[in-house]
Amino acid sequence: MIPALTDSGLLPPGRHISSMAEIEEIFVEAAPHSTHRRRIFRAFQLYADMIGDILEHGTFWVDGGFCTYKEAPPDDLDLAVLIDPSLPLTDKDHEKLIPLFTLQGVEAELPQLRANRVQPMGGLIDSFVVIAGVVEQEEYWDGIWSKVKGPDGEPAPGAIKGYLEVSW
């Protein structure tokens, strides 16, 4: 169950197990900018369906401005996708997964296109791969998702917050 947000509009520190229905209730229906958030959440639902079509099971760590109540609406929903390394994934599965993750330093030919960052679902999802059970990767993303960013986008020294976990 998702705990009550702090007075600052953040989740209390820790990883909080939740369901998609709870996320929708707390961070769409009851949240500021609900119309804007609904579009992001619909993208997340479709994204989860697409990932679920490829991966038999897994876990999302959900974070970002979407999981807060702030004055400004969130730009996107941030995800770490924990993938079980024992899942039997084919080359075709890998081809389907690649475009579902945030890519950096992308270039395309004819016409010459460049982007520093390409996010799935039209930029509504910012998604990263984590190999489940690799302690260094899990600790890295736990640390990233626990940081509180200030208005300048930089981490606020000593401040920590929580994030959500959804498994399928």
**Residues 123-168: tens digit of each pLDDT:** 999 999 999 999 999 999 999 999 998 878 889 998 999 999 999 9
User: How many structural domains is the chain composed of?
Assistant: 1
Spatial distance between the Cα atoms of 168 and 60, rounded to a whole number of angstroms: 9
Is residue 71 domain-resident?
Answer: yes
Residue 45 belongs to what domain range?
Answer: 14-98+106-145+161-167
pLDDT band at 110 (very low <50, low <70, confident <90, very high): low
Is residue 119 domain-resident?
Answer: yes
Is residue 155 domain-resident?
Answer: no
Is residue 129 domain-resident?
Answer: yes
Spatial distance between the Cα atoms of 97 and 64, rounded to a whole number of angstroms: 22
Q: Which residue has the tokens 């609904």?
A: 38
**What whole-number percentage of the chain has pLDDT above 70?**
99
Spatial distance between the Cα atoms of 97 and 5, rounded to a whole number of angstroms: 33
Is residue 30 domain-resident?
Answer: yes
Is residue 4 domain-resident?
Answer: no
pLDDT digits 0-9 by tens, 21-44: 999 999 999 999 999 999 999 999
Q: Are 126 and 78 in contact (CB under 8 A)?
A: yes
Spatial distance between the Cα atoms of 125 and 100, rounded to a whole number of angstroms: 9
Model's pTM, two decimal places? 0.92
